[in-house]
Amino acid sequence: MHSLFPVHSIDNELEDSSDMHGVFDLAMLHILCLYFQLFFYAVRVNLDGLIFSSSRPLRQYNFRFASITFSLIAVIFLGVNFIPRIWDIFQFTGATAAVCVAFIFPAAVTL
C-alpha cells in the first residue's frame, strides 16, 4: 500500500534508494581504494609506536609489520561480521564526537 507521505526513517535510508546502489558501490570502491590505505597506514604506524616504542623502525622489520597488519585486518573482519548495521557505528561515532566537541575539547583548551 503506497501512501502520499511514506514513513521514512534513518534505518531504511540505504534500502529505499534502490536506483542509487550503483552510486553507493562506486563510492565504497573509491573509499576502499584511496582512503583506507591512508587510514590503515596511520593506524599501523601509531600502533607500532605504542606497542614497540624501543624497537627498530617498522620498515626494517617485516615480521612485526606483517603481524600488526594481519591483526588489524582480523579486528576489522570481526567488526564487519558482528556489528549488525552501519547505523550503529554512525550513531556511536556521532555520540562520541558530540561529547568530545561539547565537553572534552573545551576542557583540554582550558587546561
Q: How far apart are alpha carbons 76 and 57 in whole angstroms?
A: 24
Residue 73 above 60 pLDDT?
A: yes
CA-CA distance, 48 to 57, in Å (whole number)? Answer: 9
Q: Fill in the amino acid letter for 81.
A: N
Is it the case that residue 53 has pLDDT exceeding 70? Answer: yes
**Cell digits of residue 110:** 582550558
Q: Model confidence at 13, in pLDDT bands (50, 70, 90)?
A: low
Max Cα–Cα distance, the chain, nearest Å: 66
What pTM did the predictor assign?
0.56
Nearest-5° Cα angle at 97, 95 to 102: 95
Query: Looking at residue 42, what is its pLDDT?
Result: 86
